[in-house]
Amino acid sequence: MNVNISTSFKQKTAKAIAAITLFILVYLTLFTLALVLMAACLAGAFLMITSKPSLFTLIFGAGLAVFGSMIVYFLIKFMFKTHKTDLSNLTLITRTQQPELFAFIDGIVKEVGTPFPNKIYISPDVNASVFYDSSFWSMFLPIKKNLHIGMGLVNTITEEEFKAILAHEFGHFSQKSMKVGSYVYNVNQVIYNMLYENDSYNSLINSISGKNVYMNFFIGIAVKVVEGIQWILRKLYNLVNLSYMELSREMEFHADAVAANVTGYLPLKDSLLRMDLADNSFNSVIRFYDDKIENCVISRNFFEEQRFVMNFLAEQDAILIENGLPVVTEENSRFNRSRLVIKNQWASHPETSERIAALEKLNLVKELPEKKEAKLLFSDLSQWQQKLTDKIFENVTYEKEPVSYSLTDFEKEYSSYYASLTFDKRYNNYYDNKNPLPFALDSVAEMPVNEEELFGQAQVDKVYELLALQNDGYVLDSISNKQYSVTTFDYEGIKYHAKDAAIVKQRNDAMLKALEEEVLQHDKRIYATLYHKAKTLNKAEEYRGYYERFFNYDTEYDKRFQLYTDVSEALRFTAETLPYSVIISKFKKAAVLENTMKEQLKALVNNPIFMFELSEEQREEINNYLSKDWVYFDTDTYIEKNIDMLMQMLHNFQFLNHRGFYLTKRSLLKYQAELLD
């Protein structure tokens, strides 16, 4: 296979080579100077000791020799560092165990023109990758590469999509032109080692510096010299790292082209579009079981459940399901309304949309075989899925022997769980990321409109455009305040320099203010329309009461959140080492805020909305905390169990405040949906 090298790839490669060359020149200069310094120190130490032998000259000479040697050692220690991959989440598989899968991979490596992986591992993840243990010597010695396959990925793709994904991974190593990426990566690791991986070096310095005052003197000078070297390396690190990230993005496009040459561009495009949904379904099942830890419930087959959730979520978004898999299209990402485009110079991968655009530009189309599920390549599939399910839960501690759901039970429980976290479909996502905006209920005149217009697509689009403008405003603020370091950005298709961010922010704010007013007026129309309907059903005051409770909670929520922030800040000192008198003084100041938090926590616990939200044990723990004033510091020691309880109650306070807001909003929207019937 011969994949053409793009002009952009060649340019980024040249830039990366230039960065490597600059690093080598600077490094060799530093290393040469360090060798000269060490030679001078060793010669000086030798002359001092031999010309006037004494305990003083011996110690002083040794310190001088150590000083020079430590600088050189700092500059070469990366040669002895190996980066080993953590295999704790991976399970090795063999050709004997998985003959069909290995034969499948045989065909791909032959077509791509790369050696067969050294070892193949599987994990529960929604991912696939090629990895190897690397060191400085990896740039000069052949490296055996391993393949990692995530069952969470295989579970959500077709066989041809799996082939495209593996061809992409092998494509990273099939072209000689890709070798420069490995060099840039390793140079990055070299600099990173000298900047940040200094535990063993610092331990050596500490052990030497404690010998005597003279040794400590020379070690102190060596540390200052090393700090100077690190200052130079930080400048180089940014330069080399930026060139590596630019090249890395081009390498992704190049590997995509390899995959497209093997399968055509459609299988990789389809898998890229479905990837977010596959990942989201995986994490949704994780979150579901996180909430079940207290009930000691565990999964029987996590991947069957992931598959159900993926298709369930697809159905909620009206995504077509074909041959058992969702057909995700670019139109399914309808809520991205941002006017702001910033090229992330630190990203190692291009955006999915960029990769798809590049694949479509290649327009390599091949006749595709009948669609088969990739997971069927595995022998004893159910057994391996159960084995990886156990891997997911192996570090979870349960109070008693956990029970597992059947798939039917899971489907029923998850459907109820999903319903508890979402709002009525008739809202068409209008309230998913937006709350009813506050307004004076008495000021709303009766201006009923057609109910079908209340949550139509035009109104939903305005909400997501509003959210995009808000987010764009935050980013523009960060650019203007130099918290977000960029040179240029695009806004509404026009390129601007970072210094123009404040001016663009003003324009963004003007559009935001106008749109906020439009959305507010529509929220009023919603209330007016349904209030009018509620009157005909003799439910007007009841409906109004739901809005009043929500608006009141909205106000109280902000106050409670500020209280949570204040208490957290007031208790930060418990993680510091302070004089006893200061600790006592700070606890006295914090007690005022804690008492206010107790009053608010009591009000939350007694709110009827939490009647079925708290277990008896949780309610008992909170009431125990509220029952008296606790002591957190006794004479000269923290009372750890009481502090742990305080921190847990602070967490509970924030959780209940947030959960109460959601439940109040949900009860309003549930009642309001009933009026839409």
pLDDT tens track for 44-78: 888 888 888 887 788 888 888 888 888 888 888 77
Distance spanning both ends of the chain, measured CA to CA: 61
Q: Which tens digits make up the pLDDT trace of 94-126?
A: 999 999 999 999 999 999 988 899 999 999 999
Count CB neighbours of 163 within 10 A.
24
Q: Say whether pLDDT at 355 is over 70.
A: yes
Whether residue 128 is predicted with pLDDT greater than 80 in this model: the reply is: yes
Could you report the per-residue pLDDT of 30-39, keeping only the tens digit for each? 889 989 999 9
Q: Is the pLDDT of residue 308 over 50?
A: yes
**For the segment 367-401, what is each residue's pLDDT rounded down to a tens digit?**
888 899 999 999 999 999 999 999 999 999 998 99
H/E run at residue 587 = helix 580-605
% of the chain with per-residue pLDDT over 70: 90
Among 234-238, 445-449, 472-476, 666-670, the minimum mean pLDDT is found in 445-449
What local confidence, expressed as pLDDT, does residue 119 receive?
94
Name the token pair of 154.
């295989």
pLDDT tens digits, one per residue of 245-270 = 788 888 889 899 999 999 999 999 99
Residues 6+ apart with CB under 8 A from 431: 423, 665, 669
Q: Residue 656 carries which side chain, given as an amino acid letter?
A: L
Secondary structure, 3-state, 158-179: EHHHHHHHHHHHHHCCCCHHHH
Higher pLDDT, 303 or 241: 303
Please state the rounded mean pLDDT for residues 614-623: 91
The larger pLDDT score, comparing residue 414 to residue 8, is at: 414
- What is the average pLDDT score of the chain? 88
Digit-coded pLDDT (tens) for 393-448: 999 999 899 999 999 999 999 999 998 888 998 999 899 999 999 999 988 876 66
What is the DSSP secondary structure assignment for residue 576, as one 8-state letter?
S
Distance in angstroms (rounded) separating the CA atoms of residues 507 and 522: 23
| CA pair distance 632, 645, nearest whole angstrom | 10
Mean pLDDT of 128-134: 78
pLDDT digits (tens, 9 = 90+) for 528-541: 999 999 999 999 99
C-alpha closest to that of 269 among 377, 168, 125: 168
Helix (H) or strand (E) holding 490: strand 488-491
pLDDT value of position 597: 97
Least confident span in 127-141, 176-190, 275-289, 314-328: 176-190
- In our burial notation (b when 16+ CB lie closer than 10 A, e otherwise), range 484-517 reads bebeebebeeeebeeebbeebbeebeebbeebee
pLDDT at 555: 95
Q: What is the pLDDT of residue 346?
A: 47
Amino acid identity of residue 159, one-letter, is E
Q: Which residues of 50-87 are buried (b: 16+ CB within 10 A; e: fewer)?
A: eeeeeeebebbbbbbbbbbbbbbbbbebbeebeeeeee
For the entire predicted model, the pTM comes to: 0.77
Six token digits for residue 610:
């939490």
Q: Dig out the tokens for 311 from the structure.
A: 């298709």
Instruction: Give the pLDDT band (50/70/90) at residue 140.
Output: low
Q: What is the mean pLDDT of residues 301-326?
A: 94
The b/e string for 624-642 (b: 16+ C-beta within 10 A; e otherwise) is ebeeeebebbeeeeeeeee
CA–centroid distance for 115 within its chain: 33
pLDDT (tens digit, 9 = 90+) per residue, 624-659? 999 999 999 987 889 999 999 999 999 999 999 999
Average pLDDT (580-597) is: 94
Average pLDDT over residues 465-471: 93
Residues with Cβ within 8 Å of 421's Cβ and at least 6 positions away in sequence, in order, are none
Q: Which of 26, 19, 30 is nearest to 185 (CA)?
A: 19
